[in-house]
Amino acid sequence: MQPRASGASASLMTAVVLRRLNALKTLSPAQLQRLAPLGERTEVVAPGAILQSEGGAPIRPSFILSGWACRQRLLRDGRRQIFSLLIPGDALGFHIEPRPLSRISAVALTKVVLASAEPLLGASISSGPHASAANESGAFDEHMRLSTCLEDGLLLDHVVRLGRQTAYERTAHLLLELHWRWSLIGPVDDRRFIMPLTQEVIADFLGLSIVHVNRTLQQLRREGLIEMSGSQVGLLDLAQLTVIADYQPQVLHPTP
Amino acid sequence: MQPRASGASASLMTAVVLRRLNALKTLSPAQLQRLAPLGERTEVVAPGAILQSEGGAPIRPSFILSGWACRQRLLRDGRRQIFSLLIPGDALGFHIEPRPLSRISAVALTKVVLASAEPLLGASISSGPHASAANESGAFDEHMRLSTCLEDGLLLDHVVRLGRQTAYERTAHLLLELHWRWSLIGPVDDRRFIMPLTQEVIADFLGLSIVHVNRTLQQLRREGLIEMSGSQVGLLDLAQLTVIADYQPQVLHPTP
DNA sequence: CGCTAGCTTGACACAGGTCAAAGGCTGTGG
DNA sequence: CCACAGCCTTTGACCTGTGTCAAGCTAGCG
């Protein structure tokens, strides 16, 4: 799946997290320094593994260094709805407050490498009389707040997709969203990126059947809008896809 | 719409807010006292009025004393998706942090009476050295946090509804949700409550067409599961509706 | 008392689901 | 190095849930 993901050095993989945090809000030198030990404590999780179950113990705060995961809920009869797709750079287990989305069950979709986020939490917790000083010197409250807002914003887009868009529009929208998110964690090479998702996962995310996802992707390919080979996707006509999906990238709210 | 809503005294209407807050977390005597002046500054809004537009100025913190509103987004071509329905007792305009859902456009669906929530904010804002004392004496941070969590939880249910449930299931689910929320703000008399929504609004909430909402409601009536007359709904078979909708009421997380 | 907004109905179209089977890949073990 | 197993993708045939269009109907309201 991830080409030589396991071979990549930890520092190379943590770069993803740095870029992601930096995209939300510029990292200060002090913060960069605090992030140095990030790749030291990592954990590898097998595909299909449950990172967190609904109502169960929350996962420890961590970042995805590589691999994909999702948040999901199952209906009694086995139908599954995926709420969000988690890609490298995304955070998991930050329960700043027990917001419902972060208590939903989370599952690894591929092999996932997690980095513990302990180094970031130190400062946030010690919010004593020197709280503001701690902030200056490297706390990440604001970054995690923005990250939460981003995820919530994506969830709102998801509601619109599911409620008011056709399969064709939904699929285009999803691809644009992933393309945009991918651009947060690194330059996207020629509008191509890796999407190691089975059509079943895409179906459970977009509220469609597997077969119909297959046909919709084919249609997009046939029309020259996208290109797929293996788990690599290429968006050949961003402009038209954007029109089809009525896509508007998330706005990252800076603090007023 | 609301039977003699305009005739009800302000104190009678604010009782709804008290019950709602109290349902989330028991109100202390000090807090009750702080809430006394709640009905003093009210504002009446006409149906269809825009309470807040997406990306526009946020509405001042307030509670709905009577009437219904919704949060929604429009697509370029006019399609509408409603994210949440707001009923009496619900809060609006509490941007504890700029969470995306509270920046979405909000619209009055009926005549709405709002009560300014200024009295509650006083304490929250003055979070100086005596912050904890202020908390004791009447701040409502915890209540508003729980309220936010509740709304987010409902949004997650909404995603499942839209993505993985049939029209029939969605409709049953919505009715159960409203029934449950109604029970937070007062005893529900014989499983009957007021739902002053046009079928168009229900359609835009559930991601269906008006015509299909109409037929689905008829089916539920024909099968003796619900009863409707005017804007009053009666749930005749809670147990079966719950099975049909795979409904599980929200869990209100107390603070650990 | 006519108008308008909302509800209801019927006929029909079509997006999307279901079922079933045939092809790829890829990894694994003989 | 081949063969098998398992998972994914792809295809075709067919079905059905839901949308669309269009026309009455009802009832509150000016």
Q: What residue numbers bound the domain in which B134 lies?
A: 2-155
Closest listed residue to residue B244, CA positions, set B203, B216, B207, B212: B216
Cα separation, B154 vs A159, in Å, equals 12
Compute CA A25 distance to the chain's CA centroid, rounded to the nearest angstrom.
17
**A77 & A135 share domain:** yes
The CA–C1' separation of A209 and D4, in angstroms, is 30
Q: Does residue A78 sit in the same domain as residue A189?
A: no
User: Greatest CA separation found in chain A?
Assistant: 62
Residues B238 and B225: their CA atoms lie apart, in Å, by 8
- Please compute the mean of the pLDDT values over residues B39-57 and round it to a whole number: 92
Q: Are residues A111 and A233 in the same domain?
A: no
Is residue A256 domain-resident?
no
| Cβ within 8 Å, pair B155-A159 | yes
Question: Considering only CA atoms, which of B107, B114, B117, B108 is closest in space to residue B42?
Answer: B114
Are both B45 and B110 inside the same structural domain? yes
CB contacts under 8 A, A 189-228 vs B, are 206-207
Name the average pLDDT for chain B: 88
pLDDT of residue A122: 60
Residue finishing a domain among B105, B120, B155: B155
What pLDDT, on the 0 to 100 scale, is given for residue A134? 47
Residues B114 and B227 in one domain: no
The answer to whether position A254 is within a domain reads no
Which residues of chain A register pLDDT less than 50? 1-7, 123-134
Query: At a CB cut-off of 8 Å and minimum separation 6, what does A189 contact?
Result: none
CA-CA distances (angstroms) from residue A59 to A116, A123, A218, B59, B128? 10, 19, 38, 36, 33
Question: Which residues, listed in sequence order, are joined to residue A69 by a DSSP beta bridge?
Answer: A86, A108
Domain at A188, CATH number: 1.10.10.10
Which pLDDT score, from 0 to 100, does residue B142 have? Answer: 87
CA distance A84 to B186: 35
Same domain? B111 vs B199: no
Which residue on chain B is closest to A243 by alpha carbon?
B76
Test B149 with A81 for CB contact under 8 angstroms. Answer: no
Structure tokens at B139: 């701040």
Same domain, yes or no: A16 and A134: yes
Residue B160 in domain: no
Token pair for residue A152? 């919530």
Q: Is B244 in CB contact (< 8 Å) with chain A?
A: no
Does B221 lie in the same domain as B114? no
Count of domains forming chain B = 2
Assess if residue A223 is contained within a domain: yes
* B126-168 confidence digits (pLDDT tens): 444 444 444 555 688 889 989 999 999 999 999 999 999 999 9
Greater confidence (A176 vs B6) lies with A176
Measured CA to CA, the distance from residue B162 to residue B207 in angstroms comes to: 7
Whether B155 and chain A come into contact, CB under 8 Å, resolves to: yes
Claim to verify: residue A126 and residue A151 sit in the same structural domain: yes
Distance CA B195, CA B225 (A): 16
- Among A155, A177, A208, residue at a domain's last position: A155
Q: How many CA atoms lie within 13 A of B192 on its CB side?
A: 8
Query: Using the CA of B213, which nucleotide's C1' is the nearest one?
Result: D18
- When mean pLDDT is compared across B118-132, B151-165, B220-234, the lowest value belongs to B118-132
| Separation of alpha carbons B194 and B175, rounded Å | 11
pLDDT tens readout for residues B100-117: 999 999 999 999 999 998
B219 located within any domain: yes
Pairing of strands B91-92, B62-66: antiparallel
Show the DSSP H helices in A131-208 as ranges.
Answer: 131-138, 141-164, 167-184, 199-206
Of A121, A172, A251, A207, the C-alpha closest to B161 is A207
A177-181, A242-246, B29-33, B206-210: which range is least confident on average? B29-33
- Residue B124: per-residue pLDDT: 45
CATH number of the structural domain spanning residue B11: 2.60.120.10
**CB B211: neighbour CB atoms within 10 A?**
10
List the end-to-end C-alpha distance of chain A, in Å, as a whole number. Answer: 41
Same domain, B146 and B172: no
Q: What is the DSSP string of B165-198?
A: --HHHHHHHHHHHHHHHHHHSS--GGGEEE----
B133 and B226 together in one domain: no
Question: Where does a domain end: B123, B155, B187?
Answer: B155
Helix (H, G, I), strand (E, B) or coil at A60: coil
Least CA distance to B154: which residue of chain A? Answer: A100
Instruction: Record the pTM.
Output: 0.92
Q: Which nucleotide is nearest to B221 (CA to C1')?
A: C8
Residues A189 and A141 in one domain: no
